Amino acid sequence: MRRTVRVIARCGYVAKGVVFLIIGVLASLAATGLGGNNVGTKEAITHLASQPFGGLMLALLSLGLLAYAVWRLLQALIDTENLGLGMRALGARLGFLISSGIYISLALYSFNLLRNAATGNTSPTDRTAELMSHPGGVYLVFAVGVGFACVGLRQMWRAIMRSYLENWRMVEMSATQRRLAEAATRWGLSARGVVFMIIGGFLCVAAVRTDPSEAQGLGGALNVLARQPFGPWLLGTVALGLVAYAVYCFVNARFRNVDP
């Protein structure tokens, strides 16, 4: 059982890293004017499918994303992190459950794309409008925005406090590996935190103005950075940070303690 869980978790972290690597590389190319584009997770998966051997890579990615969703579900249900049942712990486990749902959605999108039947690639505006159409939907959108902003702050807090070290098997890492892994992780978590805070801010604005068009996803958040003063520099810094976050995922695949 433990060996199976380890394989599931490590494959999942690799797949997640591949997605963020594509997003970061494309955004880096856009920042330097070399033809890239600012994309979200589904667009990154679609980009992979269009490459040589895209079908094979997409099949492997689909399985990896499904593995990551299963790993998140296990973290939530059997408490692989030994968090307990306190309020803070239950909040973290709820976050794992939500993350599992998100990656199941991405895995299904990948499988459908593999069958040339990808559907539901709706924009953030469409999803926000759908939520707002329900009773209390505006408040729900605002709550989701606050949630994104809180996740972004937590990512930056983890980078500052270096709490990720608690999950790594440090005895298996050389001094050089640890230094490089820490540098990539702190940059990656900070960049992802910035992006999540931007997404959360725009969702809150969309709720306050009751205007779904204000909502932005990951690609939209990167476009927002690009339009600011010194935009290419800002975008380039965050884009390379997303590449660094991919490295962090690969480090987790190799050195994270994933024993249940």
Give yes or no for a contact between 225 and 198, defined as CB atoms under 8 angstroms apart.
Answer: yes
Judge contact between 81 and 73, C-beta under 8 A: no
**Which sign, positive or negative, has the C-alpha torsion 24, 16, 120, 139?**
negative
Q: Which structural domain range is residue 7 located in?
A: 2-255
- Phi, psi (degrees; rounded to nearest 5) at 257: -80, 110
Residue 174 lies in a domain: yes
Question: How many distinct structural domains can be found in the chain?
Answer: 1
88 domain-assigned: yes
Whether residue 38 lies inside any domain: the answer is yes
- Which DSSP letter does residue 85 get? S
Query: What is residue 2's predicted lDDT score, i.e. its pLDDT?
Result: 81
Nearest to 256 by CA among 187, 175, 152, 181: 181
What is the reported pLDDT for 49?
Answer: 84
Asked if 19 contacts 42 with a C-beta cutoff of 8 angstroms, the reply is no
Amino acid letter, residue 222: L
- Rounded CA-CA distance 69/5 in Å is 12
Helix pair angle (218-226, 2-31), 10° resolution: 30
In a domain, 65, yes or no: yes
DSSP symbol at 118:
-
Angle ∠(80,163,172) on CA atoms, nearest 5 = 75
Q: How far is 122 from 115, CA to CA, in rounded Å?
A: 18
Tokens read off for 61: 């990615």
> 155 near 206, Cβ under 8 Å?
no
Asked, for residue 260, whether it belongs to a domain, the answer is: no
What would the two tokens of residue 73 be? 């579900």
Q: Which ranges of the chain would DSSP assign to H, the alpha helix?
A: 2-31, 41-49, 54-77, 87-114, 124-132, 137-161, 175-209, 218-226, 231-255
Amino acid, res. 231: G
pLDDT for 117: 52
Q: Does 48 reside within a domain?
A: yes
What gap in Å lies between CA 190 and CA 153, rounded to an integer?
9
Does residue 164 sit in helix, strand or coil? helix
Q: Mean pLDDT for each consecutive 10-residue tract of the chain (260 residues)?
A: 88 96 93 81 87 87 95 86 77 87 91 70 78 86 91 94 92 94 96 94 91 87 88 92 97 89
Q: Tokens 């926000």 label which residue?
A: 128
Distance separating alpha carbons of residues 181 and 253, to the nearest angstrom? 12
